[in-house]
Chain A
Amino acid sequence: MKTTSDFPSINERTPDGQSNGGSAFKVLVVDDSMFVTKQIGQILSSEGFNVVGTAADGLEGVEKYKELYPNVDLVTMDITMPRMDGVSALEKIIEFDKDAKVVMISALGKQDLVKKALLIGAKNYIIKPLDRKKVLERVISVLK
């Protein structure tokens, strides 16, 4: 019996979550909201990314980054979090690995904090509400 897989797609492409070598990009998601963590996870997984870790505050995020390093390609970093906010966590991660690729996740109205994060070394930012297109665009622009 013929199945669709017998007919290779004419637009076969590497999913955006994979490097040209075919391995999945490894992402650490740092956010105190389970809902947002899940949203980001679903968007990234559906495009072939590998979410290798999650953390619920900045302190845990920094620890997880050090634990995973060097097997982590990108961090999504929420700004408002308990214990340690995202900007401080970003600072600690850059201190540890100056080439870290961190994308800030922010609600509207935190322009000053986003600016500060970009000066510290965040590679990009995404303003909530998140949607698939926005997240993938920003994340991919940082990785490729």
Chain B
Amino acid sequence: MRVEYINPFVEAAYNIMTEVLQTEVERKDLYLKKTTQPVMGVAALVGLAGDVEGRVLIDMSQDSAIKIASTMNGEKLTSMDELAKATITELANMITAQAVTKLFDLGFKFDLTPPSIITGENMSVSDANVEALIVPLEMPQGLVEINVAIRERA
């Protein structure tokens, strides 16, 4: 997978999370995972189909998700309730919208699915024939991984 696919997502996530959380966000080193990998507890999933195809996961622990949603809403949330889910969905929307604008500018053409929120323990994601690139972002609310598996259509 080409790094230029993940960069727009990482930059967008960095910009948007810095803005909506009004806090420092630290970008950690990129790493690569093959085929099946565990996800952390709450994941926003966006699918891409077109010139490029694949998916983007914005992955975090439930605790981080609740803290992020609390900060974003100015409310002390205690569970992954409707408001927390809607907030993480909106966060994913904002990140993908900004990233996709950049990819469109680079000339890629594809459609997106609206974000789905997946929650649960001991989950994993499998991507056939494409490795995932992951960039962790660290902030006071916890760790958020931008996990992208995209390839050019054969």
Contact = CB atoms under 8 A, between A and B. Distances in A.
Interface of A: 31-36, 39, 78, 80-81, 107-108, 128-129
B122 to A, nearest CB: 28
Contact of A108 (B19, B22, B76, B82): B82
Interface residues of B, number: 16
A37 to B, nearest CB: 9
B20 interface: yes
A13 to B, nearest CB: 29
A34 B20 contact: yes
Interface stretch (B4-12, B36-44, B67-75, B106-114): B67-75
Given A34-B22, A35-B20, A129 B74 contact: no
B86 interface: yes
13 contacts: A32-B74, A33-B71, A35-B73, A35-B90, A36-B72, A36-B74, A39-B90, A78-B74, A107-B77, A107-B83, A108-B81, A108-B83, A129-B82
B62 interface: no
Contacts of B72: 33, 35-36
Contacts of B20: 34-35
B108 to A, nearest CB: 27
In this complex, the member of A31, A32, A36 whose beta carbon has the largest number of chain B beta carbons within 10 angstroms is A36
B115 to A, nearest CB: 14
B116 interface: no
Contacts of B90: 35, 39, 129
Interface string B72-116: 111111000111001100100000000000000000000000000
Contacts of A129: 82-83, 86-87, 90
A128 B73 contact: yes
Nearest to A128: B83
B74 A81 contact: yes
B153 to A, nearest CB: 34
A129 B20 CA distance: 16
Given A35-B72, A80-B76, 14 more contacts: A33-B72, A34-B19, A35-B73, A35-B87, A35-B90, A36-B72, A36-B73, A78-B74, A80-B74, A107-B73, A108-B82, A108-B83, A128-B73, A128-B83
A78 B20 CA distance: 17
